[in-house]
Structure 1
């Protein structure tokens, strides 16, 4: 009388373990990149109040010359916030020209996979017209790939 095989052989189990190992080797780096991008999203979204304030300031003054931190409705520099991915003294707005202004946001340095990367929004305005925005910063030229 023959006994029916019950369970898996050692070879079958080793093949399954090898497949899981290969999948993990591909998935872990992709997940780490994903989490860094997700953390940097906080830095990008924190530029929104400054962007809105610059647009409002431009509409009121028809110039970006006096649209800087703490004046004409533009918020002051961002203070340190606990458990935040945005560095303190971030949100620098430079508006010293009638048709150009730059918003610079900086990520924290050395935690959560972030290394002090910057995110910039450059406003180019036409008097009596509108503002166009250009994205920039070190987040686009990061060695491990762009995160913004």
Structure 2
């Protein structure tokens, strides 16, 4: 009977540890999947960036007014991206609820040599879902040369969640059970 009580306590401890790990892992995974879907939208917008860059170069620095003026045909909606549109040279990526239910606005700035710099900090999508290059404190999200080549689709370097808290929990778990 004494051994049975010991086994039940061990099982309860294991259940608590699994619960703690799940409370850390599940939200981090959900944020990760949303960030991956946001990156899909930025990839889909690369054709629009190239079109705006080429149109601006052909029209001597004048940004296209809309999709028609740029000669841009937006891609079909996906489960993550509801639309991509050009308005006064700015590209607006509208995301579905699966991808954070917000927008990222890519704003071009034409440099003196014809180079185009893209800023992606505008829009309603929360920073925690944006690639690190599109969060509030960063200045640009890549460049387009005058030739129309795209070198700034955006990457995802965020770790998701609060890594200090995760490390603290992992340290405590190691201290309690791993020594």
TM-score normalised over the length of structure 2: 0.61
Q: Does 1:34 align with 2:32?
A: yes
Q: CA RMSD in A?
A: 2.4
Q: For residues 56 and 18 of structure 2, what CA distance do their matches in structure 1 show? A: 56
Q: Does 1:70 align with 2:55?
A: no
Alignment partner of 1:129 out of 95, 102, 114: 114
Q: CA deviation at 1:27?
A: 0.9
Higher radius of gyration, 1 or 2? 1
**TM-aligned CA distance change 1:76 to 1:70, over 3 Å:** farther
Q: For residues 38 and 92 of structure 2, what CA distance do their matches in structure 1 show? A: 14
**TM-aligned CA distance change 1:119 to 1:17, over 3 Å:** same
Q: Does 1:92 align with 2:85?
A: yes
Tell me the number of residue pairs that the alignment of Structure 1 and Structure 2 aligns.
Answer: 126
Give the structure with the higher percent helix.
2
Give the structure with the higher percent strand.
1
Q: Which runs of 5+ in 2 are unaligned?
A: 131-179
Instruction: After TM superposition, list the pairs within 5 Å mapping 1:1-148 onto structure 2.
Output: 9-66=7-64, 68-72=66-70, 74-81=71-78, 84-87=79-82, 90-95=83-88, 101-108=89-96, 110=97, 112=98, 114-115=100-101, 117-126=102-111, 129-135=114-120, 136-139=122-125, 142=126, 145-148=127-130
Q: For residues 34 and 112 of structure 2, what CA distance do their matches in structure 1 show? A: 39
